[in-house]
Structure 1
Amino acid sequence: MQIKTLKEKRKQTPHYLKVKDLPEEEQFQQLSTKSKHFIDTIKMIAYRAETAMANLLRETLSRPDEVRSLLRAIYSSEADLIPDHEQGTLTVKLHHLANRSYDVAIQKLCDELNSTETKFPRTNLRMIFKLGSK
C-alpha cells in the first residue's frame, strides 16, 4: 500500500525544474568574475595542451579526424602509476587500446612526453610514460 502511495506521489512530481523555481538556498550561485577568469584560463591551458598532443598524433594516424577521440580514450582509460623513489621516477604505464595504429600513436606520444623530462608536481619524481608491459 505504501509503495502505491509513493509511486503516485512520484508521478505528480515534475520531471524538470527551472532554476527560478528552486528554493533560494538551493539555487546556483554565479561565479565571481575572478573565479570565472581563473577557470577559463585553466580550460584554455588544457585545450592548448590537448591541441599540441593532437597535432603530434595527426602525423601518426592514417585518419587525422580520429585524433581527438583517441585522446579521449587515453584520458578515460586506466593507467598504472609506479613510483620509484630510489631512481627518482614515476612511471605511468598506459594500457593498450583497441588497434595497433592507436598503440603506435600512443608510443610516439609517450616518447615525446618522456623527452620533456617533466617532474611530477610537488615532487622530484621525473615522469616516464610507457605503453603496455614493457
Structure 2
Amino acid sequence: KATDRKVTLETLAPEDRPTQLLPLNKMLSDTVKMIAYRAETALVAILRRHLKKEEEARALIRELFVTSANIVPNPDAKTLTVQIHRMANPMHDRAIAALLEDLNQLQFCHPETEDQIVYSLV
C-alpha cells in the first residue's frame, strides 16, 4: 500500500515518460492494423460458409493465426506448401480444411519466387 494507485506524468522522470508516435508513424501503424483487420474479416467471411456463428469463425481465424505450421518449398514443382497443424477439435479441423481448400482454389503465388502457395492441414 506504499505505492500510489495513480502515477501522474509530473512525478515521472523525463526518460520514464511515455512517448507518442509521430503522426506519420501512427498513420502507418493504423494502416497496417486496418489491413490486418480487413484480411481477418475476409477470411471470416469465407469461413462463415462452414460455421454458424460469426464470433466462432473470428475466434477460429485468430487461433489459426497463432497455430504452428511448416513451410515446405518444392522448387521442382514450383510450389510452397504451408502445412498447418490441426486445431483443437474435429469440427474446427473440418472448417479450417474447407477454408484451406478455398484458398488453394485461388492459386496464390509467392510474390518473389512466383511459386504457387499450397495450404494443407497436417
Is the shorter-chain TM-score for this pair beyond 0.5, marking a shared fold? Answer: yes
Q: 1:105 aligns with which of 65, 76, 95?
A: 95
User: C-alpha separation between the residues in 2 aligned to 1:77 and 1:37?
Assistant: 29
Q: Aligned Cα RMSD in Å?
A: 2.2
Q: 1:93 aligns with which of 83, 97, 107?
A: 83
> Unpaired segments of 5 or more residues in structure 2?
none
Q: 1:46 aligns with which of 36, 41, 47?
A: 36
User: C-alpha separation between the residues in 2 aligned to 1:19 and 1:111?
Assistant: 54
Q: 2:55 aligns with which of 52, 61, 65?
A: 65
Instruction: Tell me if structure 2 keeps the 8 A contact 1:19–1:28.
Output: no
Larger proportion of helix: 1
Per the alignment, residue 25 of structure 1 pairs with 15
TM-score normalised to structure 1 length: 0.76
Q: CA deviation at 1:52?
A: 0.9
1:74 aligns with 2:74: no
1:126 aligns with 2:116: yes
User: C-alpha separation between the residues in 2 aligned to 1:29 and 1:82?
Assistant: 42
TM-score normalised to structure 2 length: 0.83
Letter of the structure 2 residue corresponding to residue 18 of structure 1: V
